[in-house]
Structure 1
Amino acid sequence: MISHAARRQADVEIRRLTVDDLDVFRDIRAEALRTHPQTFSSPEEDEGGEAMMAAYRRWLGGMVLGAFGRGSLIGVGGFYVSSDKRLQHRGHIYTVYVREDGRGQGIGDRLIKELIAHAEACVEQVHLAVLVEATAAIRTYQRNGFEIYGTDPAAVRMGETRYDKHFMVRKFSH
């Protein structure tokens, strides 16, 4: 017998997003920024307007995965490698977000697994940063082989509130 969670997970398609997905990507980013401003932001998003849209088009020209279920985008996750030749052995996972109604169904886990598979083909290790308070996300990363290697105290400040971030890494044996 297949569980409800397994059935829902099977109904989710994960694919690479393109600039044709700009509108749905903008919508999910707006939700992430609104609901978790301490986690998600970029200088371009702070500026808004065309700077933000140019950043989104640039991101979608790279490696951003989307999880689609019931006809809508319910999760995203990105991966990039620095253009600096001295850092091209390291990749970075960023902007991982699953909408509230998609959580607890393994969607984040599937996104991370797909990003890791892509990363393993082109880098020796993959890094990410995550808020210390994001315990569910940290557990997902740890299940997928990531280890905490440091903590950045007060990495984000919003008003008088400060948030620490863990740095995590997963190394591949090439």
Structure 2
Amino acid sequence: MTPHSAADQVDAEIRRLTVDDLGIFREIRAEALQRHPQSFGSSEEDEGGDAMIAAYRHWLSGSILGAFECGSLIGVAGFYVSADKRTQHRGHIYTVYVKENSRGKGVGDRLIKELLTHAETCVEQVHLAVLSTATAAIKTYKRNGFEIYGTDRRAIRIGDTIYDKYLMMKTFGADVASTA
């Protein structure tokens, strides 16, 4: 049983964003950073300007999905595979954000499901980090098979406020026992 009723669902179009979407990606990213700075941020964004634009162009050359309603971007979620040869069995979900007025309507769930469908074809497991206080996001991830495997204590500091993040992982297929 889905936690979203059919009446609450948003009929969003999900598609991969490209560098041609840089303008609308910058807008939704700016909103995310303004409303939830503890959840987002990279050193390039701290620098702003050319470094930030270069980072966004790089992200958009990869796998960032966008959810559109009536032509407006209402949500995003990114995925990448570890670059290091020894960790290429691991994928990572990042920069997940759904606009406030579209939350609770299945948009985030659909974005995660789409990313996981792609991820299953190229990695054995998917990781993400989420604020320990982001209960709705944590429920979405758990509903999609993620489990908390650790806490990154004091992961983010904004002024005098410190935030913890949960580390979550989903594996595909049979779990392989680790060897030490």
TM-score between the two structures when normalised by the length of structure 2: 0.92
Write the deviation string for residues 52-94 of structure 1: whole angstroms up to 9, x where unpaired.
Answer: 0000000000000000002200000000012110110000000
Q: Which residue of 2 aligns with 1:4?
A: 7
Aligned counterparts of 1:166 and 1:124: Cα–Cα separation in 2 = 20
- Equivalences for 1:8-87 in 2 at 5 Å? 9=10, 11-87=11-87
Could you say what secondary structure the match of 2:8 adopts?
A: helix
Could you say what secondary structure the match of 1:95 adopts?
A: strand
> Any unmatched runs of 5+ in structure 2?
175-180
Aligned counterparts of 2:48 and 2:90: Cα–Cα separation in 1 = 29
Aligned identity (percent) is 70
Aligned counterparts of 1:147 and 1:121: Cα–Cα separation in 2 = 20
Q: Give how far 1:95 is off.
A: 0.3
Q: Give how far 1:147 is off.
A: 0.1
Q: Give how far 1:3 is off.
A: 3.7
**Cα RMSD between the aligned structures?**
1.0
- Equivalences for 1:1-174 in 2 at 5 Å? 3-6=6-9, 9=10, 11-173=11-173
- State how many pairs are aligned: 170
